[in-house]
Chains A and B, each alone.
Chain A
Amino acid sequence: MSAGLTSLIVLLIAAAVGWMAYRHAAHLRTGGRLHSLPTYHGVHAALWVLAPALLVLAAWAPMQSRLIDQAVLATPEGEALPQFEMQRQAILDEARQIAHREIEAGFNPESTTIAPRITEAEGRYGSIGAIGAILVALGSAGIILLRRRDREFRARTAVERWMNGLLLVASLIAIFTTLGIVLSLLFESLRFFKLVPLTDFLFGLSWSPQTAIRADQAGSSGAFGSIPLFWGTVFIGAIIAMIVAIPLGLMSAIYLTQYAAPKVRSVVKPLLEILAGVPTVVYGYFAALTLAPAVRDLGIALGVSSASSESALAAGLVMGVMIIPFVSSMADDSIAAVPQAMRDGSLALGATRSETIRKVLLPAALPGVVGGVLLAVSRAIGETMIVVMAAGLSANLSANPFASVTTVTVQIVQLLTGDQEFDSAKTLAAFALGLVLFLITLALNLVALTVVRRYREAYE
């Protein structure tokens, strides 16, 4: 019996019990005022039937596949299979596909003989699970129906508790997913730090992630110093991009909040936000194909001999453009939050508008602006696609904007794309890089939020 059919039957039982509880409550109502509406009585009963049975089904599913494998291996055909674990697993997978009629015949001849056994075992354990779930549903239905409810029964409160539980589970899913990601980063990084000392990774100046296949190979000693990567990330994301984004974003925000007519503002502000909505891939090839050659030509014209077509400048410029809306909308909000009385006071003393902005509004709005910039930086250094396409791969420790530098995200992409073994320092290095990057952006976000929250309401 399939899981779908079982769920349907359980659902029907639950609906029937719910209907009966509803009728019962409606009947009780004739005797006086109920605590909860009959509907709540019905929903409450149905939930109590549904939840345990579905739990049984959900718990049985993973157990079932293990039991099926054991049963199949215990049959004479199963014992004849090769003992080598991977080969046996491959045959079993093929046999399962044949049993489900997904393929006609397997690559291994054994799988065809095994297939009927799998069908058998699946039928047996499948019906055990189904019957178990239905029995549980019937059992809870019996308990619910035996406990005749009186008029005082608080069905609505109980249903509310169920709903609260559901909401709690939904929020726990998000939390546990985050926790799972962090933990997997952490454990893989720990494995990496067993191979490469932490101090080498954090303070090493040379990055060349290779592991040797033979001991006497050229370049067999990989170097895992992450300083050049983090320098490249900071150089592109926090220096070049911010040189573009802070003046443009801040001045745009000032102009739009202080000078522009409301009509202009209502048109221009959404247009600026489009900049944040352009897919980063588009920015990436824009940087790589349109901007990078121009930047290289400019570098050569300026007499920089090492001008590369994968320059830090091109990637940083485009990233700065992408960040403009973040800076400008945060600055916009915090300038708008400065009390009107302060602006009026400054203007009344005879200050011009620009003097008011520079001497009164900006100091008052500074925490918000700084917070916005920090958030923008943390976004910029986590940005991947632009730098993968436009920044280089060579880990240079160089402050020359025309030279090619690489970033943490680019290196993670490089380390993890393609066929990789998952026990070498080269692959595990990606997790360590990811962990450090995650910690940096987390710290930046926390600092930004604290700055904004602590100083924001100083004037209200």
Chain B
Amino acid sequence: MSSIAADFPATRWTDQAMQSRLRRRYRSESLFKFLGFAAVGISLSFLVFLLGTMIWKGIGGLTLDFLRNSDSTDAATAGVWGALKGSFLAILVTMALAFPVGVLSAI
């Protein structure tokens, strides 16, 4: 305890040294806050960039025919209905297996 008191001799509130130390601490405080804000901002801008690119490039190709047609060697008539149906069936099978087993073993 005494060593701390020796390292930091008592200063007055209005001292020049005290004032500059306080300014420095407040500066680091606002810097830290800004860093946190920047981290959130960067993460969110990644998300916006990702979704933006996806929508920007994808929206033109997303027509009703694209959803309804199955895959084809002709790119103009190709669609995702077959693939969607496959994914959907896979989800159904997974649910049919996982739901009872998961719920029962959790009980």
The residues of A with any CB-CB pair to B shorter than 8 Å are 166-167, 170-171, 173-174, 247-252, 254-256, 258-260, 268, 271-272, 274-275, 278, 282-283, 286, 290, 321, 324, 328, 352-355, 357-358
List A contacts of B26 (CB < 8 A).
Answer: 352
Interface residue? B53 (CB, 8 A):
yes
List B contacts of A247 (CB < 8 A).
Answer: 39
Q: CB within 8 A of A254: which of B25, B36, B100?
A: B36
> Are B101 and A251 neighbours in the complex by a CB distance under 8 Å?
no
Q: CB within 8 A of A170: which of B29, B31, B46, B105?
A: B105
> Are A259 and B37 neighbours in the complex by a CB distance under 8 Å?
yes
> Are A355 and B25 neighbours in the complex by a CB distance under 8 Å?
yes
List A contacts of B50 (CB < 8 A).
Answer: 278, 282-283, 286
List B contacts of A282 (CB < 8 A).
Answer: 50, 54
- Residues B16-73 near A (CB distance < 8 A): 25-26, 28-29, 31-33, 35-40, 42-44, 46-47, 50, 53-54
> Are B40 and A255 neighbours in the complex by a CB distance under 8 Å?
yes
Assuming A282-B50, A290-B53, is B104 touching A248 (CB within 8 A)? no
Interface residue? B107 (CB, 8 A):
yes
Q: CB within 8 A of B101: which of A170, A252, A256?
A: A170
Q: What distance in Å separates the Cβ of B27 from its nearest Cβ neighbour in chain A? A: 10
> Are A252 and B54 neighbours in the complex by a CB distance under 8 Å?
no
9 A-B pairs with CB atoms under 8 Å apart are A166-B104, A171-B105, A173-B105, A247-B39, A255-B39, A283-B50, A290-B53, A352-B29, A353-B32
> Are B107 and A256 neighbours in the complex by a CB distance under 8 Å?
no
**Total residue contacts A-B, CB cutoff 8 A:** 84
> Are A248 and B37 neighbours in the complex by a CB distance under 8 Å?
no
List A contacts of B25 (CB < 8 A).
Answer: 352, 355
Interface size on B, residues (CB 8 A): 27
Residue of B nearest to A254 (CB): B36
Instruction: Give complex CA distance A250, B38 in Å.
Output: 12
What 9 pairs across the A-B complex have the smallest Cβ distances?
Answer: A255-B36, A251-B39, A171-B105, A170-B104, A354-B32, A170-B105, A352-B29, A252-B39, A354-B29
> Are A167 and B29 neighbours in the complex by a CB distance under 8 Å?
no
> Are B33 and A259 neighbours in the complex by a CB distance under 8 Å?
yes
Q: What distance in Å separates the Cβ of A325 from its nearest Cβ neighbour in chain B? A: 8
Q: What distance in Å separates the Cβ of B55 from its nearest Cβ neighbour in chain A? A: 12
List B contacts of A251 (CB < 8 A).
Answer: 35-36, 38-40
Q: What distance in Å separates the Cβ of B69 from its nearest Cβ neighbour in chain A? A: 21
Interface SS majority for chain B:
helix
Q: What distance in Å separates the Cβ of A253 from its nearest Cβ neighbour in chain B? A: 9
> Are A275 and B39 neighbours in the complex by a CB distance under 8 Å?
no
> Are A275 and B33 neighbours in the complex by a CB distance under 8 Å?
no
> Are B43 and A321 neighbours in the complex by a CB distance under 8 Å?
yes
Q: CB within 8 A of B47: which of A260, A274, A290, A355?
A: A274
List B contacts of A260 (CB < 8 A).
Answer: 40
> Are A248 and B33 neighbours in the complex by a CB distance under 8 Å?
no
> Are A259 and B43 neighbours in the complex by a CB distance under 8 Å?
no
Q: CB within 8 A of B37: which of A255, A283, A353, A358?
A: A255
List B contacts of A171 (CB < 8 A).
Answer: 104-105
> Are B100 and A268 neighbours in the complex by a CB distance under 8 Å?
no
Residue of A nearest to B54 (CB): A282
Instruction: Give complex CA distance A5, B42 in Å.
Output: 62
List B contacts of A259 (CB < 8 A).
Answer: 33, 36-37
List B contacts of A250 (CB < 8 A).
Answer: 39
- Residues B84-107 near A (CB distance < 8 A): 100-102, 104-105, 107
List A contacts of B54 (CB < 8 A).
Answer: 282, 286
Assuming A252-B36, A354-B28, is B43 touching A272 (CB within 8 A)? yes
Residue of A nearest to B33 (CB): A259
List B contacts of A268 (CB < 8 A).
Answer: 40, 44
Assuming A167-B105, A167-B107, A173-B105, is B36 touching A321 (CB within 8 A)? no
List A contacts of B43 (CB < 8 A).
Answer: 248-249, 252, 272, 275, 321, 324, 328
List B contacts of A324 (CB < 8 A).
Answer: 43, 46
List A contacts of B105 (CB < 8 A).
Answer: 167, 170-171, 173-174
Q: What distance in Å separates the Cβ of B97 from its nearest Cβ neighbour in chain A? A: 9
Q: What distance in Å separates the Cβ of A8 from its nearest Cβ neighbour in chain B? A: 21
